[in-house]
Structure 1
Amino acid sequence: MSTGPGLTWEPDPLGPGWEHVTLGVSASDPGLVTTVVRRTPAPGTRPGGPAVLHVHGFNDYFFQTHLADALERAGHTFYAVDLRRCGRSWRPGQVPHYVDDLAEYRVDLGLAARLVRDALGHDRLAVHAHSTGGLTAALWADSPGGRAAVDALVLDSPWFDLDARWFHRVVSTWVLDTVGPVDRMRVLADGPSAYSWHLHVANGGRWDYDRRLKPAEGFPVRAGWLRAVRRGQARLARGLHIPVPVLVATAAESGPNSRENPLLDAQDTVLDVGQIRARAHHLGDDVTLLSVPGGIHDLTLSADVPRALYLDAVTTWLQRTAPPR
């Protein structure tokens, strides 16, 4: 689908002041789409200047309007993308969040970037990406299309490796490589996550969002999808050459993903932050590490103090490394 000015922006479920546009990603499958979200521009204004594109993680979609607020106060125009089969782009009959190869998302990200840079006229584009989205965005930024589109990359707790204890408990490498290609939809893991459960206001958390699109129990981890993630992580481990500055941010420490964990709201209980830091320098030559005391897996959803620390660090870093031309 064209990303030209003739596209129709529609009211978004976030409510007044928000809108989205749907972009087709497959000529043979009209139900396969990606969705770009933005704040509705004021009448008579024209987009331009620096922009930030947010990329969500697994079992996620864009709802973090406070992230947009912080970036817009710092002078950036904010956009977010819900990738194919995720969030706003999930259609009946589709397996949510499923791809056979993370490279499939290059089409989605390329369409979103061309919309922002070419159709809407922004002169610089930074990408802010979380968890699985962080791995996906890093691989894309190392591709020819990504290299041409991205001026800076901010990775919020990117999924650079599997927690070894979880991986060996759930599935061995041999089983994944054997089963993944022939039984792609086999469910390898399914069940509740204390981390996901505690975020929502209904469970005492501080965030309200659509639990159909971000359920507490998460979406099932399927063999083909996990194989795609592992192959992406292996590509990262061999070394990328991202030519732009990269900020890799993590919580200060990890902990168990259990409701009995007294620091459930002050640790990354999904990923091993040590693994992320160890892999960060495989991204390229210009990588900055940020550790956020009291942060959780999605640093933008942390408690007030660590969240403010994170958002201030991100906007300061962007101003220093990717200022407007």
Structure 2
Amino acid sequence: MAASAQREPEGDNWQPDVLGEPFEQLTLELTDDFQGPIVATLVRRRESAFRRLASIFDDEAVARGWDVLYVHGWSDYFFQTELAEYWHSQGARFFALDLRKYGRSLRDHHTPGYVTNLADYDEDIEAALTAMGHGHGMQPSRRLLILGHSTGGLTVSLWVDRHPERAHAVVLNSPWLEFQAGAVGRRALAPLASIGARLDPRAPLPNVDLGFYSRSVSRAMDGEWEYNTDWRPARGFPAHPAWLAAVFGGHQRVAAGLSIDVPVLSMVSAKSTLSMTWSDEMRSSDTVLVVDEIAEQSLRLAPTVTVARIPGAIHDVLLSAPSVRAYAYAQITRWARSYLR
């Protein structure tokens, strides 16, 4: 009981967040890179004293005594308040990380989303965990679940594999574990990306995002969600050879097999719709990844992996239609009853 009732990490630098109450943000100073100062930003859903006390006695709360850290995907940031409320209702403390050069952490002198190695994010994640009380060398009294979406799902999978015994469970939401053209396409393009990374690492690559995914998400179009379009542009940020080479390197590591030593839940849509023209099917399928490939690659992450295929889901499963989201959250709860308690 004492662990579940532990107070939230304290600090004088938590500030009101753009999402409003009860969300707060903390700027995490990172090592400068070639573009100058960089930061990451940790967001928390502040836990009410009532919920903290109630979770001690709530046998239905599947995440009592847990802390959850969410990591977003490419051209994205944290705005999913419903996700935070779900974990809060389950007794967890919820945190989300806007990685360097994304969202709240993006500055005018930055190339959005640019890194040359996905391991660069180790510093962001470590700074977030330290602020949460889970830093290296600390002895937290709560357990840690890491949740990643899309490229964030790839990033956290690699991080957990490199840092055994730090996290206790992993949930992935449409993790980008394989290139859309499959392993053959990746192996063909990887050498070109590597050459480009050496010759002109920040050259803009052709933008293949036609904006269909944003159309299915944004309330301004056919979706139901409002967000900052400067931080989440309709056709995504420009991609660059060095960044793509870093992603291909991550895909190669997954294909060779990881050894994550904790339970993993990987959620994907039941269907992909990859097309050059809009169709209504794009409101109920993944328009970004080949979900069959992702489901297969998920099994290479750990000895214990649960793959949940979610009918009617879009790329971010938890931004799908209300009935689809309800089904997805029910799948998380069912999995959590087995592995978190």
In the superposition, the TM-score normalised over structure 1's length comes to 0.90
Give the distance between the partners of 2:142 and 2:49, measured in 1 at CA.
21
What amino acid is the match of 1:158? P
Cα drift, residue 198 of structure 1: 3.0
The change in CA–CA distance for 1:194 and 1:165 in structure 2 (over 3 A counts) is farther
Q: Secondary structure at the match of 1:201?
A: coil
Q: Does residue 131 of the first structure (1) align with residue 136 of the second (2)?
A: no
Cα drift, residue 110 of structure 1: 1.6
Q: Residue 217 of structure 1 aligns with which residue?
A: 235
Give the distance between the partners of 1:212 and 1:245, measured in 2 at CA.
36
Match of 1:185 among 189, 202, 205: 202
Give the distance between the partners of 1:186 and 1:65, measured in 2 at CA.
35
Q: Does residue 142 of the first structure (1) align with residue 172 of the second (2)?
A: no
Q: Residues 26-175 of structure 1 correspond to what in structure 2 (within 5 A)?
A: 26=31, 31-42=37-48, 49-118=65-134, 123-144=142-163, 147-164=164-181, 172-175=189-192
Q: Residue 223 of structure 2 aligns with which residue?
A: 205
Give the distance between the partners of 2:88 and 2:47, measured in 1 at CA.
12
Q: Residue 10 of structure 1 aligns with which residue?
A: 15
What amino acid is the match of 1:225? W
CA contact (8 A) 1:24 1:30 kept: no
Give the distance between the partners of 1:162 and 1:115, measured in 2 at CA.
34
Give the distance between the partners of 2:141 and 2:14, measured in 1 at CA.
18
CA contact (8 A) 2:154 2:176 kept: yes
Tell me the alpha carbon deviations over residues 86-121 of structure 1, each in whole angstroms, 9 at most, x when there is no partner. 111111110111100000011111221222234895
What amino acid is the match of 1:133? G
CA contact (8 A) 2:29 2:40 kept: yes
The change in CA–CA distance for 1:318 and 1:117 in structure 2 (over 3 A counts) is farther
The change in CA–CA distance for 1:167 and 1:259 in structure 2 (over 3 A counts) is farther
Q: Does residue 309 of the first structure (1) align with residue 327 of the second (2)?
A: yes
CA contact (8 A) 2:182 2:293 kept: no
Q: Secondary structure at the match of 1:37?
A: strand
Superposed CA RMSD:
2.5
What amino acid is the match of 1:95? T
Tell me the alpha carbon deviations over residues 174-221 of structure 1, each in whole angstroms, 9 at most, x when there is no partner. 321211222111111225321113311111310001111001021011
Tell me the alpha carbon deviations over residues 260-318 of structure 1, each in whole angstroms, 9 at most, x when there is no partner. 22211110110001111121121110111100000110001001111111112113312
Q: Does residue 243 of the first structure (1) align with residue 261 of the second (2)?
A: yes
What amino acid is the match of 1:129? G
What amino acid is the match of 1:39? R
Give the distance between the partners of 2:153 and 2:282, measured in 1 at CA.
22
Q: Secondary structure at the match of 2:107?
A: coil
Give the distance between the partners of 1:122 and 1:268, measured in 2 at CA.
38
Q: Secondary structure at the match of 1:227?
A: helix
Q: Does residue 266 of the first structure (1) align with residue 284 of the second (2)?
A: yes
Tell me the alpha carbon deviations over residues 234-271 of structure 1, each in whole angstroms, 9 at most, x when there is no partner. 01111111000001110001012555222111101100
What amino acid is the match of 1:239? G
What amino acid is the match of 1:155? L
Unaligned stretches of 5+ residues in structure 1: none
What amino acid is the match of 2:260? I
CA contact (8 A) 2:215 2:222 kept: no
Give the distance between the partners of 2:28 and 2:217, measured in 1 at CA.
30
CA contact (8 A) 1:257 1:264 kept: no
In the superposition, the TM-score normalised over structure 2's length comes to 0.86
What amino acid is the match of 2:196? V
Q: Pick which of 59-68 and 24-33 moved more.
A: 24-33
